[in-house]
A = this chain, B = another copy of it.
């Protein structure tokens, strides 16, 4: 474990004490049984900075379900295999629709609006299945390498639960396949997608794993070039317009940072040239974003003056 920054720790502790009780304002995701069982009264927050320090408060080392935040890792893996071809199969525009809308996908002839809505992420999973051998374990290896730990794993109970309740995502995948925009067999693509979503990870691990996006594609410490500077920029741009479901505009308004949330209760925010903040608490607001994580990140960005605008 790396060193922590005492003043950041104090800040995180203070804000957690202030906001954690507000988890009662939201509802834990219940679309799959495995997520519905998670206890609501939990929260954690961690900041990894470019100097390699990780500071946290609350349950910041407890693992939760990565869910849609996994879309970032899969996207970077797909960008590392396909270049412009990827952007002919998926757009990079905000969707202006609920996150799993099939309507827009039909209008736009099977081309998803962007790679972080469900349809786009399923397409990205198709790229992984088609362009990586052993694509499930390749995904897990990638995220473990980034987080520098082998503790991260795919939660089999969550994975099975996703598979059993994935009819809407199956509809999205078959619709794209009917437009010729999915290469592999749909069941393989969905298995890859749900496997990614089922990743178990902690705030500390997730913050560290995404540091390369705050550092122009380079992993601090190892100095490995995880993706090109240009692609790191691109991912941040997509997250800033589309990462927070149908609350992306409001998040830009209030926080002003590229971010991604998942129905497991995590929100991760990238602060270019500074670091990565992850907050987690299971209860969600009506947009599917964690109530407490949203408040924590808003407060941190305000106190530290992190807004890009």
Contacts and interface: CB of A to CB of B under 8 A. Distances in A.
Contact of A234 (B174, B253, B258): B253
Contacts of A240: 240-241, 252, 309
B241 A248 contact: yes
Interface residues of A, number: 48
Interface string A290-309: 00000000000000000111
Q: How many identical chains are in the complex? A: 4
Looking at chain A's contact residues, the main secondary structure is helix
A92 interface: yes
Contacts of A175: 102, 167-168, 171
A104 interface: yes
B174 A93 contact: no
Contact of A167 (B174, B272, B308): B174
A134 interface: no
Contacts of A241: 94, 240-241, 248-249, 252
A234 to B, nearest CB: 5
Interface in A178-227: 178, 186
Contact of A174 (B171, B238, B248): B171
A293 B174 CA distance: 33
B106 A102 contact: yes
Interface string A136-177: 000000000000000000000000000000011011111101
5 contacts: A92-B250, A93-B247, A93-B249, A167-B177, A171-B172
Given A167-B177, A241-B248, 4 more contacts: A92-B250, A93-B94, A114-B249, A234-B253
